[in-house]
Structure 1
Amino acid sequence: MSDSALSSLSGRTVLVTGATAGIGYETARQLAERGATVLLHGRTAEDSRAAADALVATAGVDANRLCTYAADFARLEEVEALAHRITVEHPHLAALVNNAGMAAPERHTVTADGNEIAFQVNFLAHYLLTCLLEAALTSDPGGRVVNVSSSLHRTASIQWADPNRARRYSRLAAYAQSQLALTVFAADPRVTAVSVHPGVCDTALLPLYAPAGVSPAEGATHVVRLCDPAVEIVNGAYYERDERVDPAPAAREDRTVRRLNKLADLLVGRAD
């Protein structure tokens, strides 16, 4: 489907995490330009407000289409508060774009919640947010989740006995594990979800991939396309840019999905 063939998103509300820079910012811009109400998430209220102001001032986005939210994904209590506020203020979500991400630091770093920081920010926080927003995403037909993942998920393995990689830490392996988990999570049957590698883009994560990349705006087009209700999706599908391809074998295994959900519930405090 060409860019010009995408349908209007007027009347639809989309939450974009990590919307203050890079692919997230450009995704928010393109969604708003197509008529969606966009919930802009940033790590701080100041970051979110600055992004909204920039979209209005430099991109000509209608300020009435933007709502700002803040939560530090390194603190799960803030993720819970974010989900509660959105559920109250926007009980019907057409889409959730799980985009916020970070490169794993050089040294092993654990959050206040006890999780390796990249695993929490890139996956566990999105897992928790998606679970808490399930009612909003399923209140109307067609609600969907788009996980912004990475082709590096193919290089990863989930260390089930040591997901926080306390015994053997590598920043690239930790980052790749978080992307594999996010890709596996797209096959969760509770909500309709897909994952997408938007290409190697010139963002803060570029050094993990290559010396050069395409613009964040180009990468965002592949994310926005999957938010369009005119684009039919299959739960658990994986895309590299605009092409549907097979993900890593682990992302197609029901057993792995169930095992990951059990682990994630434990790590975010949702286990029975």
Structure 2
Amino acid sequence: MPGSSLFSLTVLVTGATSGIGYETARLLAERGARVLVHGRTAEEARAATDRLVSTAGIPAERVCPFGADFSRLDEVEAMAERVVVEHPHLDILVNNAAIAAPERHTVTTDGNELAFQVNFLAHYLLTGLLERALTRVPGSRVGRVVNVSSSLHRTGSIQWSDPNRARRYARLAAYAQSQLALTVFAADPRVTAVSVHPGICETALLPLYGHNGATAADGASHVVRLCDPAVEIVNGAYYDRDERVEPAPAATEERTVKRLNKLADVLVGHSG
């Protein structure tokens, strides 16, 4: 049957309680995957899994809720520990959770600018903590990571000396920096990963783009395609919907990848 290559795979989707994340979880579960549904709180994740069962007709055993507030790195660590214990073999990680940067400069309890932490650093930490589960997939198959990025990464720059933008803050620049970092991170050689711009969709992030968008389900279809082991991917590549295209030049520079990893290691080290 179509999509049978996803049957019985275990997939963690972050930010899966609404928008593209929810639709990604739904499509994956409909195609037979076991989906770990992440939400900011356990209650939000449970509500999303209940909705998948009651309104989308997903079998209850195919969805499992996980809660973690990505503005708190200790919660990311706790969720990763639970995933590894309950699902030691993880086939796919979809790093989708994202927020629009707030109007005013906001710093998390971990000391990081809010959008940079939620959109990138939390995913950097989570991916590293799940690396063993992703590379311990039975047989010859290696797990893959799909980073849900944005075309706005092209407008971004990483402020190496001030990544938290304490000296000069603008919400669109902060958001673009977080998306550029996520796109660069796909080139990390430690895991098999790609990044994807799913198109401009009718989600909570639409105001950042300023015009009409496609449905969240349309965006999710491009994410799900890259999750499918039957679809060959180029490690570290960037996809604009279904088409592989060149990302911003910085995203392909080995020096930038290494520099970003060093920076991220320092910043996630703020977590006690």
Please indicate the TM-score interval, normalised by the length of the shorter structure.
over 0.9
In structure 2, the residue matched to 1:209 is: 209
In the other structure, the counterpart of 2:15 is 18
Alignment map for 1:139-218 (pairs within 5 Å): 139-140=136-137, 141-218=141-218
Q: Which amino acid aligns with 2:81?
A: H
CA contact 1:7–1:228 (8 Å) conserved in 2: no
1:5 to partner: Cα distance: 4.8
Structure 1 residue identity aligned to 2:136: S
Any conservation in 1 of the 2:110–2:270 contact (CA below 8 Å)?
A: no
C-alpha distance in structure 2 between counterparts of 1:200 and 1:256, whole Å: 27
Q: Is the 8 A contact 1:142 1:229 kept in 2?
A: no
Query: Are 1:6 and 1:225, in contact at CA under 8 Å, matched by a contact in 2?
Result: no
Tell me the CA shift for residue 212 of structure 1.
1.0
Tell me, yes or no, if the aligned pair for 2:111 and 2:270 is still in contact at 8 Å: no
Contact 1:7 1:230 in 2 (8 A): no
Matched ranges for 1:1-272 at <5 A:
5-140=2-137, 141-269=141-269
Counterparts of 2:135 and 2:169 in 1: how far apart (Å)? 38
| SS of 1:74 mapped into structure 2 | coil
Deviation at 1:8, TM superposition (A): 3.3
SS of residue paired to 1:169? coil
Deviation at 1:6, TM superposition (A): 3.6
Alignment RMSD:
1.2
The C-alpha deviation readout for 1:178-225, integer Å capped at 9, x for no partner, is 000000000000000000000000000000013210000000000000
1:38 CA drift (Å): 0.1
Distance in 2 between the 1:34 and 1:214 partners? 22
TM-score, structure 2 as length reference: 0.97
Aligned AA (2:165): R
Distance 1:117 1:207 in 2: 18
Q: Is the 8 A contact 2:5 2:229 kept in 1?
A: no
Cα separation, partners in 2 of 1:270 and 1:170, compared to 1, 3 Å: closer
Give the whole-Å Cα distance in 2 for the aligned partners of 1:211 and 1:243.
22
Give the distance between the partners of 2:222 and 2:142, measured in 1 at CA.
Answer: 18
**1:147 CA drift (Å):** 0.1
Q: Is the 8 A contact 1:180 1:251 kept in 2?
A: yes
Instruction: List runs of 5+ in structure 2 lacking aligned partners.
Output: none
Amino acid at match of 1:26: E
Distance 1:224 1:122 in 2: 19
Q: Per-residue CA shift, 1:67-96, capped at 9, x if unaligned? A: 110000000000000000000100001100
Residue 174 of structure 2 aligns to which amino acid in structure 1?
A: A
Does the 8 A contact of 1:75 with 1:112 survive in 2? yes
Question: Helix, strand or coil: the match of 2:6?
Answer: coil
Is the contact made by 1:27 and 1:224 (CA closer than 8 Å) also made in structure 2? Answer: yes
SS of aligned partner of 1:224:
helix
CA distance in 2 between counterparts of 1:263 and 1:68 reads 31
CA distance in 1, matches of 2:251, 2:236: 8
Secondary structure at the aligned position of 1:230 is classed as coil
Q: Secondary structure at the match of 2:255?
A: helix
In the alignment, residue 58 of structure 1 is paired with which amino acid? T
SS at match of 1:108: coil
Q: Which runs of no fewer than 5 residues in structure 1 stay unpaired? A: none
AA matched with 1:139? R
Q: For residues 3 and 254 of structure 2, what CA distance do their matches in structure 1 show?
A: 32
- The one-letter amino acid of 2:76's match is V
Give 3-state SS (helix, strand or coil) of 1:59's partner.
coil
The percent of aligned pairs where both chains have the same amino acid is 77
